Amino acid sequence: MESQRKLARRKVLVVRPALGAGGAEQVTVTLLRHLDRARFESTLALVRKEGVFLVQVPPDVKVHDLRGRNLWLGWIPLARLLRRERPDVVLSLGGSDVAAAVAWRMTGRRGRLVLSERNTVAHSGLTWKRRLMIRLKQRTYPIADTLIAVSEGVKADMVRTLGIPPERITVIYNPIVDQDLMGQAKEPVAHPWFGEDVPIVLGVGRLTPQKDFATLMRAFRQVRKSRTCRLVILGEGPLRGELEGLARELEIEGDVWLPGFDRNPFKYMARCSVFVLSSRHEGLPGVLIQAMACGAPVVSTDCPYGPAEIIEESGRDGILVPVGDVEKMSARINDLLDLPDERQQIGERARESAERFTVSRAMEQFEQILSAPIELGARAW
């Protein structure tokens, strides 16, 4: 029986809340595209079958719509699916980890449970919902066969906040850089700004408080006082109206463009003068890695967590600034715009640093975990 199982492809069920415009969603699609078909049979379970990345799911991957009303109750339809499909491995890629753990526990704990933490545990502040989620993670995470953190900072946060022994957590950097990215970076940008000899500062991410594009706008205003330049922020989200209002308030709206979400941000990254990550917190910011892979000189907040692991030496392959510091962010942007030769050198070194985050390296680690022996039984609650 066991010898037959070794010859058969291992059934892997990947779980996510949805496939909206975010880094975890992009990683999910990348994982599904690159998993070895000879060794793994992949399916995808979404609490809600929606999101811009749905169209990028490989055609040979079956997508299960759990039609969950919310994440809190997502474990109920997921448990039904687990009983029916009986996967060898349940892999939750963030956002649905607690629901996946509860569903797996309630259906007999067959196979392996792998949970991936993608952000700081208390990243949204200690609201009552966040406190409840921390308690649930403290209760459910220990039952997993494998716990993955996307950065050393997230791992340390899990140890500190959830009380998980560090030896139980494996760090796997997100699969980011491959030939597809480099190919898309060569595509043209239709907007006329990218054909003019005016510096462009670029930000990419959802328009949410976490990304703190308000600080980027204020820093850009300071830069614009001393030179002609433009700001482009790719992404969509609930703060669009607020950010458009801030641009008017700062009297920079004529030099700010918010085009919304674009499936190919790489062509902008390859052509910007400076890329800025202004986030208050992250897990491992994929857009920072992508921008560096495209050769963009980067300025990033030294937020928890990820940027200090991605930028190996501030001033050499990128520049780190304090979170929310308008003056230092604007000064570093100005420094790069003032020194085109140094800016080019930082961009070249950034491209070299980004090679640590290749898809092939991450997939090798993921496949090793997914192919580990399946043990009967499970850890207690």
* Residues 248-291 pLDDT 10s: 999 999 999 999 999 999 999 999 999 999 999 999 999 999 99
Asked whether the predicted pLDDT for residue 309 surpasses 50, the reply is yes
Cβ atoms 115, 92 nearer than 8 A: yes
Residue 285 tokens read as 């910011």
What whole-number distance in Å separates Cα of residue 106 and Cα of residue 3? Answer: 28
* Residues 17-28 pLDDT 10s: 999 988 889 999
Find all residues with CB under 8 Å of 296, minimum gap 6, and list them. Answer: 202, 269, 270, 272, 274, 275, 347, 350
The pLDDT value given to residue 122: 62
% of the chain at pLDDT higher than 90: 86
What would the CATH number be for the domain defined by 179-357?
3.40.50.2000
CB-based burial label for 188 (10 Å; 0-12, 13-18, 19+): exposed
Considering the chain, what is the average pLDDT of its residues? 92
The pLDDT value given to residue 124: 54
Q: Which residue has the higher pLDDT, 207 or 127?
A: 207
Cβ atoms 33, 112 nearer than 8 A: no
Residue 53 tokens read as 């990345």
The pLDDT value given to residue 126: 67
pTM of the model: 0.88
| Fold match between domain 2-175+360-370 and domain 179-357 | yes
Q: Which homologous superfamily does the CATH classification assign to the domain defined by 2-175+360-370?
A: Glycogen Phosphorylase B; (3.40.50.2000)
Least confident of 6-15, 203-212, 334-343: 6-15
The pLDDT value given to residue 379: 53
* Residues 177-199 pLDDT 10s: 999 999 999 999 999 999 999 99
Asked whether the predicted pLDDT for residue 5 surpasses 50, the reply is no
Find all residues with CB under 8 Å of 286, minimum gap 6, and list them. Answer: 23, 26, 27, 174, 176
What whole-number distance in Å separates Cα of residue 374 and Cα of residue 366? Answer: 15
